[in-house]
Amino acid sequence: MATTCIANATIFDGTGAAPFVGDLMIDGNRITSVTPAGSASRPAADTLIDAQGRFLMPGMTEGHAHLSFENVCRTEDLITPTPEEQVFTAARGAKALIDAGFTSAYGASEAKLRLAVAVRNQVNAGRLPGPRIRAGGLEISVTGAMGDEGREHDPRPGGPATIVDGADEMRRAVRLHCREGVDNIKLDVSGDPFYPSTPGHTTPMTFEEIRVAAETAHAYGRRINAHTRSIEGSKHCVRAGVDGLFHTEYADEELLDLMEEARERIFVVPTVGLFHQIMNGEASAHGLSPEVGGHMNIPDLLENSIKTHTELRKRGIRHLIGGDYGFGWSKQGEQARDLQFFVRYYGYAPADALLCATRNGGLAMRAEGDLGTLAAGQLADLLLIDGNPLEDIALLTEHSRLALIMKDGAIHKLAPALTLPPASEPARTPAHSGIAA
Secondary structure of residue 335 in the 3-state scheme: coil
Residue 43, pLDDT score: 79
3-59+369-418 CATH pick, 2.30.40.10, 3.40.50.300, 3.80.30.20, 3.90.1300.10: 2.30.40.10
Residue 402 to residue 425: CA distance in whole angstroms: 24
The pLDDT tens digits for 402-435 are 999 999 999 999 998 886 655 555 444 444 444 4
The pLDDT tens digits for 75-130 are 888 888 999 999 999 999 999 999 999 999 999 999 999 999 999 999 999 999 99
Residues of CATH 3.20.20.140 domain(s) within the chain? 60-335
Residue 139 to residue 112: CA distance in whole angstroms: 9
The single-letter code of the amino acid at 333 is G
Secondary structure of residue 48 in the 3-state scheme: strand
Q: SS3 breakdown of the chain: % helix, strand, coil, rounded to 5?
A: 35, 25, 45
Residue 431, pLDDT score: 40
Contacts of residue 38, Cβ cutoff 8 Å, sequence gap at least 6: none
Residue 435, pLDDT score: 42
**Contact between 14 and 359 (Cβ < 8 Å):** yes
60-335 CATH pick, 3.20.20.140, 3.30.1780.10, 3.30.1280.10, 3.40.30.10: 3.20.20.140
Residues of CATH 2.30.40.10 domain(s) within the chain? 3-59+369-418
**Contact between 361 and 104 (Cβ < 8 Å):** yes
* Tens-level pLDDT at each residue, the chain (437 residues): 899 999 999 999 999 999 999 999 999 999 999 999 987 778 789 999 999 999 999 999 999 999 999 998 888 888 889 999 999 999 999 999 999 999 999 999 999 999 999 999 999 999 999 999 999 999 999 999 988 887 888 776 667 899 999 999 999 999 999 999 999 999 999 999 888 889 899 999 999 999 999 999 999 999 999 999 999 999 999 999 999 999 999 999 999 999 999 999 999 999 899 999 999 999 999 999 999 999 999 999 999 999 999 999 999 999 999 978 999 999 999 999 999 999 999 999 999 999 999 999 999 999 999 999 999 999 999 999 999 999 999 999 999 999 999 999 999 999 988 866 555 554 444 444 444 33
- CB count in 10 Å sphere of residue 241: 17
Secondary structure of residue 417 in the 3-state scheme: helix
To which H or E segment does residue 22 belong? strand 20-27
**Contact between 74 and 47 (Cβ < 8 Å):** no
Contacts of residue 74, Cβ cutoff 8 Å, sequence gap at least 6: none
Residue 76, pLDDT score: 83
To which H or E segment does residue 276 belong? helix 272-279
Residue 197, pLDDT score: 86
Residue 240, pLDDT score: 98
The burial of 16, by beta-carbon neighbours within 10 Å (0-12 exposed, 13-18 middle, 19 or more buried), is given as exposed
Instruction: Record the pTM.
Output: 0.94
To which H or E segment does residue 256 belong? helix 253-261
Residue 326 vs residues 52, 60, 183, 388: alpha-carbon distances, Å: 35, 17, 20, 28
Paired sense of beta strands 223-228 and 184-188, if any: parallel
Contacts 24+ apart (CB under 8 A), 391-396: 391/350, 391/434, 393/339, 393/340, 393/343, 393/350, 393/353, 393/354, 394/339, 394/340, 396/60, 396/101, 396/336, 396/339
